[in-house]
Structure 1
Amino acid sequence: MKHLLTFACLISLNVFSQSPFNSESTAVTRADLTTNVFEKDSTANAVVLYELGKSYVDKKSFKLKTEINKKVKILNRNGFNQSTIIEYLYDNGQRRETISNIIATTYNIEHNNVTTTSINKNEIFEEKYNNNYTIVKFTLPNIKEGSVITYSYTLESPFMYKYKEWRFQDEIPVLHSEYHTSIPALWDYNIKLVGFQKLAVNDAKIQRNCLEGGNGAYADCTNSIYVMKNIPAFREEDYMTTKDNYLSRIEYELKVFKNFNGNVENLTKSWKTTDSEFKTDPELGRQLGKSGMLKELIDHSLKNEPNALKKAETIFNYVQTNYTWNGKYEIFKDVSVKNLIKNKSGKVSEINILLHNLLEEYDIKVKPVLLSTRQNGLPTQLFPVISEFNYLIVQATINSKTYLLDATDKYVSFGELPFRCLNQYGRLLDFDDGSSWIDIAPDKVSVVHHKAELSLDDNSLISGTIDSKSTGYHAMPLKESFFGNPKAHLDHYENKFTNINFLDYNVSTTDHSSFDFDESFKIEYQTEQVSNNLYINPFIFKFFTENPFKLQERSYPIDFGFKDTFAYNMKIIHSDAFEAVEIPKEEMFSLPNNKGTVTLSSKAQGNEIMVYFKISFNDALFDPTYYNALKIYLGKIVDIQKNALIVLKKK
């Protein structure tokens, strides 16, 4: 239903010093409608002006209720998607979450009048998402550039262990986000604040006798208020793990449940208890150490190999080569090493449990490690939340040195992990001495090194060879590309460098799992000539063609995953017909605290010109306070590779 309102009905609140918007309530003011820019973030398509959530236990039904109220300003057409609201309601087959009291209104200014358009019940849709979730979805009507939308609804849940989390941060800026919770003393939660934004308000008070259990039994409640203000939009960028690691929010994990009759149920266990359960778990613990069928897999004479490292590498190579990962991450469901051996294909857990058992069978000291992949999020370290782990690898100890192993990837070398595993830390399972956290970090630096030996003839044609060596995580995608399709691999270079003729190409690496990948190019190309001058950019292959860091600020870490170094050597020999009149200027700069260095040097001597360029990143993980420094650092690197020139003059 659409109707007109006069501006008198929209009494403007006091204009706030920092923003013309009303960020203190869902009341729509004149300024909310007439202000169509957000000065703090000119790239914003919409802004959450105000949102309020209230979660509490209903005194009659003992169900968890959450009331949600929200007001959003639509700044332009790219913000129209904010008018579609989706809620996922959980259903375990016996009980389900519900939604009610949906009220949604769009405010516009039309012909100098304020119009409101409310949603009808027949515009609210419900559909089955999967076996456990139903989607409730609605889109506010009459959305235009400049619209303000408000909506509210109530969620009801019978699952107290799933206390409603609250997300303060979104993909658009949020001016005011407020969450009120009332938690009876019967339920004891681990409460975790995630993200890098700070709370403006964090208050808690005890409310006596807030919940009645009958027969004179009562429970107190802890009533808390959490507020964040002026929260920047979360924008994804290169060199990050999943955004769920960084979006500012409050999460709840039920630890202890008490009945009114005094019975206590511990739901969040200690790691000591969890380790004991893992040991007897049929999907994990009982699969570990199983030696049935293993003796038939590898020549038993390997037992007599005196070199323990060589023995371990042979076993690793066997599993890596003969068993294929089916792409599934499940580690606690339907795990069967027997099926893996039969089908030659299986889950992460099955492949690496087989690796674990074979190494143990051949007297290598091993332990399983649980971790969460980069796209799955960081597991909490405060208490065991087993559902946060989705991956299993193996730690092998050989001659007092530890190696982290994963045989699911055909292109990793012994002691390397696939890039997806580089997520800071994992949980080492030790069923004798207890589990512990360990760092998941490569111990080797990954390198890219190009060495160009070139010559310039009298016709301004440059020819020669480029030898390229890539190691570690820089080598993996190249190995996968080349061994997957050698022709397509070379075609990629020819399509990327259209001004270069590739006369010959050779790869000396023959092993898929080699730490190195060595390739050599024989090339020729014509130089740029203006009058009697030749202009040569020495960087035929560039490490960075553009700056990956473009945000004004970044509130989450810069996670490269590994330390790396880039090096470029070029030598060009020219004929006596030319003389060098300009070579790149020497440069040297670094990141704060020596976390990265750049060196550029050049020299002209006789008929030879030599250029050396080296970039180092000495850390894999950078705090967001380094963002501006990294942005400047990468900007200078891109400029050097783009603008460096050798100028030769024809005599």
Structure 2
Amino acid sequence: MKHLYLASLFLLSSFSFAQSTFNSDTYSVSRNDITTNTYSKDSTATALVIYEYGNSYIDRDTYTLKTEIKKKIKILNRNGFDRATETIYLYNNNKGKEKVSKIFATTSNLENGAITKTELKRDEVFEEKYNEQYTLVKFTLPNIKEGSVITYSYQLESPFIYKFHPWEFQDDIPKLYSEYNTSIPGNYDYHIKLVGTQKLNKSESKIVKNCLSAFNGASADCVNTIYAMSNIPAFIEEDYMTARQNYLSRLEYELKVFRGFDGSVDNITKSWKDADNELRSDANIGRQLRRNTSLKDEVANLITGAQNPLIVAQNLYTYVQNNYTWNGDHKIFTDVSIKDLIKSKSGNVSEINILLHNLLYEHGIEVKPVLLSTRANGLPTQLFPVISEFNYLIVQATINGDTYLLDATDPYLGFGELPYKCLNHYGRLLDFDNGSTWLPIEASNPSSIHYQVDLKITDQLVNGEVKAHYLGYDALSKKKEFFVNKDAYIKNNADRQSDITVTNHEVPVADKNSEAFHETYDVVLNDSHNTQDMVYLNPFIYKFFKENPFKLQQRTYPIDFGHQKTYLYSVQIDFGETYDIVEIPKSIQAKLPNNGGDLILNTTVNAQKVMLFFKFSLKNSIYEPEHYELFKLYLNKVLEVQQNSLVVLKKK
């Protein structure tokens, strides 16, 4: 009986283990795939890619790029039902169009102990025009339930061989296995780029002879490669990051050279020297940079008597800001005309900043244009020029030995400030005489918020004065809100804290593009928790964070604030001769690794006043993912200080 019990226990354990195992080796659906309804490595996952396969090759008969795709996905709960809908984007232009065929899809369920399969019908596949360049083919698998396993496959055909099919190993749901097979003929030479932090489990290549042939008897060998990744975590977007495509683990291809069977060689990917030459003669960039503005008479009064070139540059910059409006267009290489901008007073990014460039140049300022990609647009490739990856143009001015990066599209920007969206690590400085170079794109000054609070406690109430100071990007957001509608700004400021009454609000700001924003106002605390004999007061009447923005179990990409930032809060509480101190917050000092920031809380009592000083600084603009857990703890400590600090007084 003892042996029988042990054997039964072993079989039960084996069965339990099998039940928790997905079949990630093949496309076929196993019983375990259907009966296993949790994924232990990610309890938040709504669906799971069990198996994924791709195969791209040049068809030897049609010379088109064909890609076969297969996916097997587990629906873990109702929130994963959207995974049952697949959308395929097909590109087209005047030279050809992409096609999709051989669509097969099946939903597998467990019903009454038996596996049932429901197939997608042909009339359940829909096609619609998305825009001038893309058509959508969309289908939704039938009979979806919690626990369903869906499989689908299809074949893509593309005449655009210069853009070999990319492959995304990572998605916003986890994947157990993803494999991509490629077969690339030797006459196609691609740049191949692996993006992201995930590592390949497999990267194997072999040569296949005579995989492609031509009518004249010429042939090419192919390099056949298998790339694979296992146990790929979901990519979840969180605050303080640049574009998703900067970090999503994937393969990208860019054709650099094509060698024809007739012996011809076409260099598709240019060098930066070639790109510079093309941009120099380009009607939208190079030629516009040489245009005369014909505005010397109009701006003459701005620079009359100005001896310092910095003052000249600042006045010209403000002139462009206040007289020309950005139309919101990021298409920096099309329809650029300085002449049209001067006439209409409205234009795209290139027009406004090239006008600024030309005005500064005409008045003796050393200037160069800078191409960049905004944070949401992704980082441009540095290995070789891909001009289409840039979507913004700014100006570099060198004055009295100092360098300034300028953007005149926003009237609230100070001289040398860039929009936050431009803080995307680097840009390309165009120098048509000496050649273009990469240029770091950084904030010119740190940003900060500083509250100075002076409170007085009496028997009836707590009141006082607040002085608030904002610098950098914190000032920029305040200026925009204030100058758009001053009355609404004052009202909103009063409404932000329902337990505080705000009066006598003043904003001593002279110009909307000044570097700082200041405001002062009187406050009365409506809920200071006074009792007959006791006062309980949280000295943080204004808080920097409502919650911790960092909530992921694991973050595989950097925390990117874009700029340095400091939070300062100082408060003086006058409790007079009526009260004695019972409790004050304890002082705290903490630091982020590598001197990346400080958390300081100092409290002192001097005569009849409690003085508290709080500082929370981010000395780096970027923090690597290995410090993520510590950073979460750091923010939790800030929240704890803000929410739980308490000054307790007792009436004498």
TM surpasses 0.5: yes
Question: 1:210, CA displacement in angstroms?
Answer: 1.1
**Are 1:104 and 2:99 matched, yes or no?**
no
Counterpart mapping for 1:127-146 below 5 A: 127-146=128-147
Question: 1:193, CA displacement in angstroms?
Answer: 0.9
Deviations 1:426-464 (A, max 9, x none): 0000000000001000131111110001111122x1111
The match for 1:405 is: 406
**Are 1:597 and 2:598 matched, yes or no?**
yes
C-alpha distance in 1 between matches for 2:192 and 2:25: 26
The match for 1:30 is: 31
C-alpha distance in 2 between matches for 1:292 and 1:589: 55
Q: CA 1:137/1:307 → structure 2, altered by over 3 Å: closer, same or farther?
A: same
C-alpha distance in 2 between matches for 1:327 and 1:15: 59
C-alpha distance in 2 between matches for 1:576 and 1:178: 76
The match for 2:508 is: 508
Say which SS state the counterpart of residue 475 (structure 1) adopts: helix
Counterpart mapping for 1:407-486 below 5 A: 407-459=408-460, 461-486=461-486
Question: 1:294, CA displacement in angstroms?
Answer: 2.7
Q: Which amino acid aligns with 1:348?
A: V
Assess if the C-alpha contact under 8 Å between 1:464 and 1:523 holds in 2. yes
Deviations 1:290-344 (A, max 9, x none): 1142324311772763201000000000001111111001111010111111111
Which moves more between the two structures, 148-157 or 530-539? 530-539
Q: Tell me the TM-score normalized by structure 2.
A: 0.96
C-alpha distance in 2 between matches for 1:580 and 1:254: 74
Assess if the C-alpha contact under 8 Å between 1:563 and 1:617 holds in 2. yes
Deviations 1:174-226 (A, max 9, x none): 11111000100111111111111111111221111111113321101111111
Counterpart mapping for 1:185-584 below 5 A: 185-299=186-300, 302=303, 305-459=306-460, 461-526=461-526, 527-530=528-531, 532-584=533-585
Q: What is the alpha-carbon root mean square deviation over aligned residues?
A: 1.5
C-alpha distance in 2 between matches for 1:395 and 1:63: 45
C-alpha distance in 2 between matches for 1:46 and 1:643: 39
Say which SS state the counterpart of residue 286 (structure 1) adopts: helix
Q: Which amino acid aligns with 2:462?
A: I
C-alpha distance in 2 between matches for 1:501 and 1:453: 15
Can you give the 5+ residue segments of structure 1 that lack an aligned partner in the other structure? 1-12
Q: Tell me the TM-score normalized by structure 1.
A: 0.96
Assess if the C-alpha contact under 8 Å between 2:293 and 2:338 holds in 1. no
C-alpha distance in 1 between matches for 2:500 and 2:596: 36
Assess if the C-alpha contact under 8 Å between 1:93 and 1:132 holds in 2. no
**Are 1:617 and 2:621 matched, yes or no?**
no
The match for 1:74 is: 75
Assess if the C-alpha contact under 8 Å between 1:544 and 1:638 holds in 2. yes
Say which SS state the counterpart of residue 377 (structure 2) adopts: coil
Say which SS state the counterpart of residue 480 (structure 1) adopts: helix
Assess if the C-alpha contact under 8 Å between 1:168 and 1:177 holds in 2. yes
Which moves more between the two structures, 148-157 or 566-575? 566-575
Matched residues, number:
638
C-alpha distance in 1 between matches for 2:158 and 2:468: 59
Which moves more between the two structures, 15-24 or 444-453? 15-24
C-alpha distance in 1 between matches for 2:457 and 2:19: 62
C-alpha distance in 2 between matches for 1:309 and 1:400: 11
Can you give the 5+ residue segments of structure 2 that lack an aligned partner in the other structure? 1-13
C-alpha distance in 1 between matches for 2:437 and 2:446: 26
Assess if the C-alpha contact under 8 Å between 1:56 and 1:183 holds in 2. yes
Q: CA 1:14/1:401 → structure 2, altered by over 3 Å: closer, same or farther?
A: farther
Say which SS state the counterpart of residue 161 (structure 1) adopts: coil
C-alpha distance in 1 between matches for 2:96 and 2:495: 57
C-alpha distance in 2 between matches for 1:464 and 1:402: 43
Q: Which amino acid aligns with 1:143?
A: I
Assess if the C-alpha contact under 8 Å between 1:458 and 1:575 holds in 2. no
The match for 2:167 is: 166
Say which SS state the counterpart of residue 350 (structure 2) adopts: helix
C-alpha distance in 1 between matches for 2:17 and 2:200: 20
Q: Which amino acid aligns with 2:467?
A: D
The match for 2:7 is: none
Q: CA 1:343/1:492 → structure 2, altered by over 3 Å: closer, same or farther?
A: same
C-alpha distance in 2 between matches for 1:360 and 1:19: 69
